[in-house]
Amino acid sequence: MDFVDWRQLPEQTVQAADAARAKAKANRYHGKAYRDYIEEQIRDAQERGLFDNLPGTGKPLKLDENVYAGDRALGYHLLKNNGYAPKEIELIKEIRQTRERLEARRAKLIQRSKTLRSRRVPPFPSERRAFNYAVEQFATEYEAGLRELNRKILTLNVAAPAPMHQPLLEVEQLMQQFRAACPLFAM
């Protein structure tokens, strides 16, 4: 057997070794999905430390840009930075707050009715008159508030895209439910 000094390989042998390495590397990815190929390249880069000193490492991502905003992006950006939202969103908030306020007052009045009716001592005539007056006054305000909410919901449904649409309130049905939950005292 002849001794071959591998430190001084002929040019042909070096080229053959390089070709063999390239072929092995090419076969390494043969038959893999494209995603697997990309993930393997990312892992190799991580092992070599190429991602260690990237700007913004360890900081949260800034996902402020809305790619669907189109030509309104600058306007939305200015509104957001100054504590405002698009008019559709502001209208939705206003509708929700008004509805919650009306429902809270309604619940308070219903609770008052239950308290007066569950007492051992029947309510005095002055309490009954005051309660009946409060119920009539709130019923008027409640109906007007519900109709105003329907007006705002119609405005929203015209201006906003379909996924943001809200159903109209059934004023008569809600009023009947209120009257049934909070009946007047007989005088």
61-101: pLDDT as tens digits: 776 677 777 787 888 788 888 888 888 888 999 999 999 99
Residue 76 burial (CB count, 10 A): 18
Identify whether 186 is part of a domain.
no
Using an 8 Å Cβ cutoff, are 66 and 76 in contact?
A: yes
Bigger pLDDT: 140 vs 51 = 140
Tokens representing 37 are 């190929």
Q: Which domain holds residue 101?
A: 87-181
Identify whether 75 is part of a domain.
no
Total count of domains within the chain:
2
* End position of a domain, from candidates 35, 53, 71: 53
Identify whether 61 is part of a domain.
no
The verdict on 47 and 100 lying in the same domain is no
Answer whether 0.85 is exceeded by the pTM: no
The verdict on 102 and 40 lying in the same domain is no
Using an 8 Å Cβ cutoff, are 114 and 140 in contact?
A: no
CA distance linking residue 151 with residue 145, whole number of Å: 10
Identify whether 73 is part of a domain.
no
Q: What average pLDDT does the segment 33-48 reach?
A: 84
Check residue 23 and give its pLDDT. 66
Cα 66 to the chain's mean position, in Å? Answer: 14
The verdict on 22 and 101 lying in the same domain is no
Identify whether 158 is part of a domain.
yes
CA distance linking residue 107 with residue 127, whole number of Å: 19
Identify whether 45 is part of a domain.
yes
| Farthest-apart Cα atoms in the chain, separation | 125
Check residue 25 and give its pLDDT. 63
